[in-house]
A and B are shown apart, each in its own frame.
Chain A
Amino acid sequence: MEMVLLLLLKSIVWIVVLLSIFAFLMLFERKFLGYFQLRLGPNRTGPWGLLQPVADAVKIIIKEDIIPREADRITYKLAPIASLFVALAAFASIPVGPPIELFGRTIELSIVNPNAGVLLLFATTSLGVYGITLGGWASQSKYSLLGALRSTAQMISYELSLGLSIIGVLILAGSLNLYDIVQAQERVWFVLLNPVGFLIFFISMFAETNRVPFDLPEAETELVSGYSTEYSGMRFGMFMIAEYINMITMSALAALLYLGGWNGPSFLPGIVWFALKVTLFIFIFIWVRATMPRLRYDRLMSFGWKVMLPVALANLVITAAAVSLF
């Protein structure tokens, strides 16, 4: 019973924290994009535009919710919920810091701590594409359909190299548990032991979260808004929240698997180190968005299959050989 209560409490805290991080992540992104582009970004709502997330939230909630006449209503309504649910669920197994002592008991800073944490995480994030595909399909709009098709193709091409790239880390750590993986990096981070794997993971990260230069499913200037063309109001908002939470998840995962998680000089607590590393990755996401043009759909596919996959495989073989030799 106590166990269930604790889980429930943790889940609520996690969701609230994640959603507020999302809100301020939006501001963070818009502000930095503004600075990259010789603009100021939001600055009308409070100092430094700090109340912009509130304004955005109010706006998106009171917007009219439009459902196209031709749409498959049930799937159309379900798709954004599925997207958001998957995004939130994926974060459940991510630890944000070392276990802490509170009221005389040890509390792990993740909602669940399964033995095969990485596996669970990847299984959950893979489901994310369903929301996008079904949403695009159910809209009965051609732009949405094209966006959904692109999304599906992109996911298949990148999930594979993403999965292969982290197997190197799993071999090095000898475990599928995220706590163990972080523990194994106490002396040296895996980014140094497995740089190629990190590179592949890093590139796939952008494809996984549909961000520039791999933002083909939404490709604003080609497909209007891709899979979310017909969505409005909070339903659109849910897709958006899911995208940003995926960004946080992938940044956290990169920090956990390659940058030593919460390991760092002891003058700062572990959780702060972790937050800093995640922020670094999120900043890179924004930086790349401000700099890169979009890749073409067929180039993305051939890059995924012809470059990333062979390199990931070779990297896996070399890592495995190196680990068994030394």
Chain B
Amino acid sequence: MAKFDPAEFPLEHPDPRGYRVEAAEGDRMVISVGPHHPSTHGVLRLILELEGERIVRCVPEIGFLHTGIEKTAEHLTWQQAITVIDRMDYLSPLSNNLAYVLAVEKLLGIEVPERARYVRVLLVELQRIASHLVWLGTTGLDMGAMSVFFYAFDLREGILDIFEEVTGARMNPSYIRVGGLANDVPENFVPMVRAYLEKFPKRLAELHAILDENPIFLDRIRRIGAISKDKAIAYGLTGPNLRACGIDYDVRKAFPYCGYDEFDFEVPVGTHGDVYDRYHVRMRELHESHKICVQALERLPEGDWQIQDRKLVRPPKHEVRENMEALIHHFKLVTYGFDVPAGEVYVSVESPRGELGYYVVSDGKNKPWRVRTRPPAFYNVFAIPEMVRGELVADLVAVVATVDPVFGEVDR
């Protein structure tokens, strides 16, 4: 692990003109990939030492998208903090919502009604599909298969339309709230999701067909960027990247939350931990998420979509108009929020990128004392040097694409 000691590898090149071809030692060339590079998926900077086109060393540099979300959350009430937490992993904001809300609910010691639980599972799994579709599209684009990008994004569009209908927002819905949901799902929610889930397998099969049987694509991903089981655990990989190595660890199965143990789904695992396995694990996860969505939609119960504790959730509008007490509750919740008993919890969920954990500390006030995130992509990014050592520059983009980092989450 000491192999990539930053001290022995100065980021600032001694030559102020830094980019001269002659500046590298011997036959090697130091090249800076990113932060503005077409395929670094956001703002990752990788400093590569190349011998020919072979990568000798790779040092990731992060922090270009630092937004101070964790700190900002400390200045917002418990419910308000959801809106900034949305913006961490901007490809799956609902997973962030869910993990944070579950942590707060654990501190409060409350259980949400069945309907809220099922809607949460359904939306989070749809979010996983949407996130994996972005991954698939960008992976295709990075390999030069441009059309895959458009096909995948077109398919994702259906999910964003559902989110828009349900939550009013396509990207950062802040829909999952402490105590349930922001609103009940609209009437056309069930038919809309059903129509989408029906067309989904056929469209996914098309994507399989254009990639899985293409010898050029297979050649680009097989036996590239492999990482061993031990190394994967040592680097703290989670999610599809870990499962590609053959380790069967999925938070949904290992520590079920939201009643995931009631659903029938499998956890796909790979064998070699190379780009091919990561690709296949994610592709099969798309099918599994589809399965969960179908089950959740079938079993979606009627009833309350949030708890009935007026100290925690806002009363319905008609009550506020007629009832003095409801008005007071409303006013109190909007201006002050609610207090959460002092204590600390760690809750993790399986986000599309891996184990997304929230360590939340309360000092008994109406604002979190500390919200510490364990973003899966942060750990995954730092395994990239291990994966690309000895590979070609062309493989770097394949590796970065299949590691699937989201920099809102890495830099927070």
Q: Mark A183-227, 1 if CB is under 8 A from B, else 0.
A: 000000000000000000000000000001101000111111000
Q: Is B19 within 8 A of A70, CB to CB?
A: yes
Q: How far is the CA of A164 from the CA of B105 in the complex (A)?
A: 73
Q: How far is the CA of A294 from the CA of B336 in the complex (A)?
A: 56
Q: Is B39 within 8 A of A37, CB to CB?
A: no
Per a CB cutoff under 8 Å, which of B29, B145, B150, B397 touches A39?
B150
Total interface residues in chain A, CB < 8 Å: 32
- B332 vs chain A, min Cβ distance (A): 50
Q: Mark A23-48, 1 if CB is under 8 A from B, else 0.
A: 00000000001001111000000000
Q: B21 — which chain A residues lie within 8 A by C-beta?
A: 140, 142, 145
Q: Is B141 within 8 A of A146, CB to CB?
A: no
Q: B39 — which chain A residues lie within 8 A by C-beta?
A: 221-222
Nearest to B37 among chain A residues (CB) is A224
- B107 vs chain A, min Cβ distance (A): 44
Q: B396 — which chain A residues lie within 8 A by C-beta?
A: 222
User: B205 at interface (Cβ–Cβ under 8 A)?
Assistant: no
**Which interface class (under 10, 10 to 19, 20 to 34, 35 or more) fits B?**
20 to 34
Q: Is B220 within 8 A of A70, CB to CB?
A: no
Count how many pairs of residues, one from A and one from B, have CB atoms less than 8 Å apart in the complex.
89
Q: Is A37 within 8 A of B17, CB to CB?
A: no
Per a CB cutoff under 8 Å, which of A38, A141, A146, A294 touches B143?
A294
Q: How far is the CA of A299 from the CA of B219 in the complex (A)?
A: 9
Nearest to A39 among chain B residues (CB) is B150
Contacts A221-B39, A299-B219 given: A291-B147 contact, CB under 8 Å? yes
Q: How far is the CA of A80 from the CA of B217 in the complex (A)?
A: 32
Q: How far is the CA of A140 from the CA of B220 in the complex (A)?
A: 29
Per a CB cutoff under 8 Å, which of A36, A219, A223, A296 touches B219?
A296
Which one of B246-254, B319-327, B366-374, B387-395 is at the A interface? Answer: B387-395
Q: Is A221 within 8 A of B220, CB to CB?
A: no
User: A277 at interface (Cβ–Cβ under 8 A)?
Assistant: no
Q: How far is the CA of A208 from the CA of B142 in the complex (A)?
A: 22
Q: How far is the CA of A213 from the CA of B144 in the complex (A)?
A: 8
Contacts A38-B151, A70-B19, A293-B145 given: A221-B53 contact, CB under 8 Å? no
User: A298 at interface (Cβ–Cβ under 8 A)?
Assistant: yes
Q: Is A294 within 8 A of B151, CB to CB?
A: no
Q: How far is the CA of A148 from the CA of B57 in the complex (A)?
A: 23
User: A272 at interface (Cβ–Cβ under 8 A)?
Assistant: no
Give the A-binding residues of B (Cβ under 8 A): 17, 19-21, 29, 31, 37-39, 53, 140-147, 149-151, 154, 210, 214, 216-217, 219-220, 392-397
